[in-house]
Amino acid sequence: MSQTGSGEDVRLAEGIDHQVAMVMDLNKCIGCQTCTIACKTNWTDGGGREYMYWNNVETKPGSGYPRDWEEMGGGWDEEGQERTPGDLPESEDYGRPWEFNHEQVMYEGSDEPLRPMDQADWGPNWDEDEGAGEYPNSYYFYLPRICNHCTHPSCVEACPRSALYKREEDGIVLVDQDRCRGYRYCVEGCPYKKVYYNAMKKTSEKCIFCYPRIEGEGPEGEVMAPSCAEDCPPQLRMVGYLDDEEGPIHKLVNEYEVAVRLHPEYRTEPNVYYIPPFAPPQHSESGESVEAERIPRNYLEELFGPAVNEALNTIERERARVERGEESEVMEMLTTTDTADQYRLEVFDE
């Protein structure tokens, strides 16, 4: 536990000086997958990583990536003391990279549409934009996911060789490639299935929160936010430290409590938070708006726990303040385009 200057308690893992964290505003995500490609080209273009998406964007409601990951177990029991059993995803659950008929279409003059050459029956975001509900009140939203760099990570506990660890200076969870023997207990133990097994290297690999970028190892020595955040066209991610009481991360998570965790019942205490999605109200058959929320609250509770209700209510109140011409720090933080506010990564350099 860490206490800020204003006396608020912030839960940090034992032995961790500061916890880096991310807040994603789901109301801004357009599902363009730019973050996915930014991560893919930076970190997972090597052998054995073809199926890996350390960052992915999935449509909710939907099966996600790997398929049905929310039903595979892992994490901790209700007391947060004992790890709960988890399953290993099958290779088919991740999907496989498809070969397309580029040669045929681009160079041989074929009239065939561009399509996978083999029969494709599953892949990341296979159920893109399907969602749920009935016309005219169907609904869906996009959910970007990376490793949550949890405060209480079950992947770290699961490894019998202590190959996974949290960095003392910022709480980033990494895999020591020299110690890892590829047992895959970490893959079983992570309830978010954000640890991957490289069958060519026979080690586990995962999101590293772009730590070389936040350490200032770029060509100019500048500190940069993770590429998934900086490359995002609608700039939906904020990056900083959970215990930086002047930063938007701390304020949105701990002060205003409008940023919530994904599946808090897994009890790994993720350090990636989400501003829950809003949607237009439902429509009647004649097209008139009716007083009913389009995205069911019980579905959002399944994803984000009961705290999502007060988060949505708070944002609703803050929106109303702005509509009345009053000031709202919450809405200022959620709509800022100042990168100095979006990415506060140098406050604990000393």
Helix (H) / strand (E) containing 273: strand 272-275
- 91-145 pLDDT tens trace: 999 998 788 899 999 999 899 888 888 888 899 989 999 999 998 999 999 999 9
pLDDT at 1: 59
CA distance 249 to 348: 14
pLDDT at 9: 75
Per-residue pLDDT band at 5 (split at 50, 70, 90): low
Among the ranges given (21-30, 46-55, 135-144, 211-220), the one the predictor scored with the smallest mean pLDDT = 211-220
Task: Assess whether pLDDT exceeds 70 at residue 79.
Answer: yes
Which CATH topology does 20-95+102-342 take?
Answer: Alpha-Beta Plaits (3.30.70)
- 285-306 pLDDT tens trace: 888 989 889 999 999 999 999 9
pLDDT at 220: 83
pLDDT at 297: 96
Q: What percent of the chain lies above the pLDDT cut of 90?
A: 85
Task: Assess whether pLDDT exceeds 70 at residue 6.
Answer: no
CA distance 311 to 260: 8
pLDDT at 219: 77
Contact yes or no for 271/149 (Cβ under 8 A): yes
Mean pLDDT of 184-197: 98
The string of DSSP letters for 29-86 reads -----HHHHHHHHHH--STT-TT--SSEEEEESS-TTTTTGGGSB-SB-TTS-SBPPB
- 251-295 pLDDT tens trace: 999 999 999 999 999 999 999 999 999 998 999 888 898 988 999
β-sheet bridge partners, residue 76: 83
List of residues 6+ apart from 195 with CB closer than 8 A: 147, 155, 164, 175, 186, 187, 204, 205, 206
Nearest Cα neighbor of 43 from 31, 55, 57, 29 is 55
Query: Looking up tokens 């955040």, which residue turns up?
Result: 229
pTM of the model: 0.94
